[in-house]
């Protein structure tokens, strides 16, 4: 299964694509989409959408896992993040890629075993699981890979549980 993970942000949106058989993970590609801070917000959203469309078309993920919104103190920042998430969800849906959403707590728990893990701990676990020589940079791309791995783990568990239920009937 090929999974695209996305860590949405209005300045930097990280994405990462992995290939998995449910047990092993292999990185396909990861990067960050950087938007010019002086651009109009609508133009930044358009840039994020176009880049993700290109990545989806070129690499053909079967699922898109997106980091869910966390509660922010700054309402304006939370609203912008929500708009970026909307663009990511819409872009994947338009490409007929099934979308899954995971909270930061779920992602950290799936990778590190502790929902309040530091970003560097998550980044190091991503490096280990993907057998990379160096930790993926920037952190936004590393976080996106973490979301993809979280989904691969979660999807695999659901598939095994479904198979057990079907075979016990």
Find out whether 142 and 111 touch, Cβ atoms under 8 Å: no
72 vs 76, 81, 101, CA distance in Å? 9, 10, 18
Given 43, 53, 67, 118, the catalytic residue: 67
Question: Is 143 an active-site residue?
Answer: no
Question: Is 7 an active-site residue?
Answer: yes
Residue 38: Cβ-neighbour burial (10 angstroms; 0-12, 13-18, 19+):
exposed
C-alpha–C-alpha distance, residues 18 and 3, integer Å: 5
Question: Is 140 an active-site residue?
Answer: yes
Given 68, 124, 140, 143, the catalytic residue: 140
Catalytic annotation, residues: 7, 67, 140
């Amino acid at each position: 299964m090929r999974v695209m993970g996305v860590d949405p942000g209005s300045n930097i949106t990280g994405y990462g694509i992995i290939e998995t058989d449910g047990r092993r993970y292999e990185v396909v590609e990861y990067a960050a989409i950087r938007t010019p801070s002086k651009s109009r917000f609508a133009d930044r959203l358009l840039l994020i959408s176009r880049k993700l469309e290109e990545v989806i078309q070129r690499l053909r993920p079967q699922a898109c896992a997106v980091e869910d919104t966390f509660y922010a103190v700054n309402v304006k920042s939370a609203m912008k993040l929500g708009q970026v998430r909307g663009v990511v969800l819409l872009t994947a849906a338009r490409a007929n890629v099934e979308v899954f959403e995971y909270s930061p707590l779920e992602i950290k728990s799936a990778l590190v075993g502790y929902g309040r893990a530091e970003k560097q701990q998550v980044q190091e676990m991503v490096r280990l699981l993907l057998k990379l020589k160096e930790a993926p940079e920037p952190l936004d791309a590393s976080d996106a890979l973490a979301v993809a791995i979280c989904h691969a783990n979660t999807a695999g568990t659901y598939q095994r549980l479904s198979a057990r239920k079907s075979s016990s009937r």
